[in-house]
Amino acid sequence: MADPKGFLNHGREVAKTRPVEERVKDWNEVYVPGSLLPIISKQASRCMDCGIPFCHNGCPLGNLIPEWNDYAYREDWQAAQERLHATNNFPEFTGRLCPAPCESACVLGINQPPVTIKNVEVSIIDKAWETGDVAPQIPERLSGKTVAVIGSGPAGLAAAQQLTRAGHTVAVYERADRVGGLLRYGIPEFKMEKRHINRRIEQMRAEGTRFRTGVEIGRDLKAGDLRKRYDAVVIAAGATTARDLPVPGRELQGIYQAMEYLPLANKVQEGDYVTAPISAEGKHVVVIGGGDTGADCVGTAHRQGAASVTQLEIMPRPGEERDAVRQPWPTFPMLYKVTSAHEEGGERVYAVSTTHFEGDEDGNVQWLHMSEVEFVDGKLTPKPGTERKIPAQLVTLAMGFTGTDRENGLVDQFGLELDARGNIARDADFQTNVPGVFVAGDAGRGQSLIVWAIAEGRSAARGADSFLTGASELPAPIRPTDRALAV
């Protein structure tokens, strides 16, 4: 145990953020560099080393949290990163982007603020990179088997790294021009600088993983041809079909899906553009959708110099504290969350629904009309007399995703079966109805969190490894049917 009295002697401290007026002028990460290490040992000491650590259940990766908390408390960074990497291929991604269901399940959190697990995690891995402890793990021998991984998001990268380390020859196919999937183009730089992706990719290349960018399976390369080249295939193409808003005026110019808007801002940071082709500069911006993707749009609009930013959410505003009856510990509660983007300004409006858009004579959106909604007989219904309009010269739709891409032909060319939710169906080993073809991540699970994607990639890798060799020693942290802790 780290410190038997740690949780009694120390309160919760989180990473410090840079002043708003400073950070909105650049695209660097919002946190003060180096601010965690001076406090992280004390924060790690708050871990109680529970007899039954529910943080393990909150995290689908099964992270050995009490163990690396203990090592962090003792400042044994080498041992800490080894325990961290034992269950997680990319802790620098999850430590920055995951909403930390492990913290919601922390036993200390029953009656105190929980341990800052996420901050401890990112401190350990950043220290490991700094000291050179993150090295390529090159397999001792090759199996002679080949695997194609479709998609280079967290699920695809995790599957590829596991299979490469098992001795297989792995090629990752990515339809974008750079590796990383939504990590690269969906997550703004101020949440995670892309240098973190780049150095992992270099590690994977050194281990033997090959990357093929700008190749879309189904269009540029047919599924049948891919199957002929490889002994197994892992599909980790994500759930990229965005939910739309079919209301009058949707066809007006200036209304975009979030994943049309965000990637262009990231491409500016990559040096592809001087200014984003879709920019919020000087415009009244409305973001429809109250989740993390919506918050990413808010923060991006601030940095582009928007005149105003308004975020709309159809559901009522959540409470600021856990409801012990409806959302009991250790489930992941839906709470009112103020992200770094919300700290930077803008207005958040809850329990409203867009009725239609209004444009100018040139077909550009100018106004968004909305009304308040309430639950009537279990359904969200407009409240009469609450209609109003707000200026909207740029609208981003951040309402989630409905499933994997069907237009490129990947699903049909492989002959894949879908489940009732429209996701690619798989068996207990993550194998589809087509022998040798596996699926991991959002393509099989539906839209989910980064920790679930990595866990799926690791588990699908075990299924593929077993298919190729008859047995596998790779870990499988979850089953396809596993779900987050819920009431």
Specify the pLDDT at position 446: 96
Query: 283: which residues sit within 8 A by CB, 6+ positions away?
Result: 306, 307, 393, 394
pLDDT of the residue at 378: 87
Nearest to 349 by CA among 300, 374, 316: 316
Residues of the chain within CATH 3.50.50.60 domain(s) are 146-240+402-469, 245-397
Task: Count Cβ atoms within 10 A of the Cβ of residue 251 and give its class: 0-12 exposed, 13-18 middle, 19 or more buried.
Answer: exposed
Q: 3-state class of 372 per DSSP?
A: strand
What confidence score (pLDDT) does residue 26 get?
Answer: 98
Rounded to whole angstroms, the Cα distance separating 367 from 190 reads 29
pLDDT tens by residue, 81-102: 999 999 999 999 999 999 999 9
Of all helices (H) and strands (E), which one includes residue 284? strand 284-288
How many C-beta atoms surround the C-beta of residue 259 within 10 A?
17
How far apart (Å, rounded) are the C-alpha atoms in residues 226 and 212? 13
User: Residue 47 CA to chain centroid, in angstroms?
Assistant: 26
227: left (phi over 0), alpha (psi -120 to 50) or beta: alpha
Q: What parts of the chain have a pLDDT lower than 70? A: 1-2, 487
Enter the pTM of the model: 0.97
Nearest Cα residue to 139 out of 214, 206, 70: 206
Q: What is the pLDDT of residue 1?
A: 61
Continuous H helices in 32-100 = 37-45, 55-58, 65-73, 77-85, 91-97
Residue pair 80/124 in contact (Cβ under 8 Å)? The answer is yes
Q: Torsions phi, psi of 402, nearest 5? A: -105, -10
| DSSP-assigned states of every residue in 179-219 | S-THHHHTS-TTTS-THHHHHHHHHHHHHT-EEEES--BTT
Return the SS3 of 485. Answer: coil
Lookup result for tokens 């959002």: 442
The architecture that CATH gives domain 5-131 is Orthogonal Bundle (1.10)
**Helix segments in 330-449, DSSP class H:** 340-343, 410-414, 442-445
What's the Cα-to-Cα distance from 184 to each of 21, 108, 111, 363, 389, rounded to whole Å? 26, 35, 38, 32, 35
Q: Which CATH code fits 245-397?
A: 3.50.50.60
Q: Which two tokens stand for residue 29?
A: 């990460």
The residue assigned the tokens 């750079």 is 178
CATH class of 146-240+402-469: alpha beta
Q: Report CA 418 to chain centroid distance, whole Å.
A: 23
Packed helices 117-131 and 77-85: angle between N→C axes, nearest 10 degrees: 110
CA distance to 47, 48, 228, per residue, from 12 (Å): 11, 14, 55
CATH 1.10.1060.10 range(s) for the chain read 5-131
How far is C-alpha 60 from the chain's CA centre? 14
The span from the CA of 48 to the CA of 5, in Å, is 9
The residues with which 17 forms a beta bridge, in sequence order, are: 31
Q: Residue 168 has what pLDDT?
A: 98
How far out from the chain centre does Cα 55 lie? Answer: 19
Q: How far apart are CA 313 and CA 319, in angstroms?
A: 14
How many whole angstroms separate alpha carbon 402 and alpha carbon 146? 31
Cα separation, 465 vs 475, whole angstroms: 11
Instruction: Report the length, in residues, of the chain.
Output: 487
Q: Is 414 helix (H, G, I), strand (E, B) or coil?
A: helix
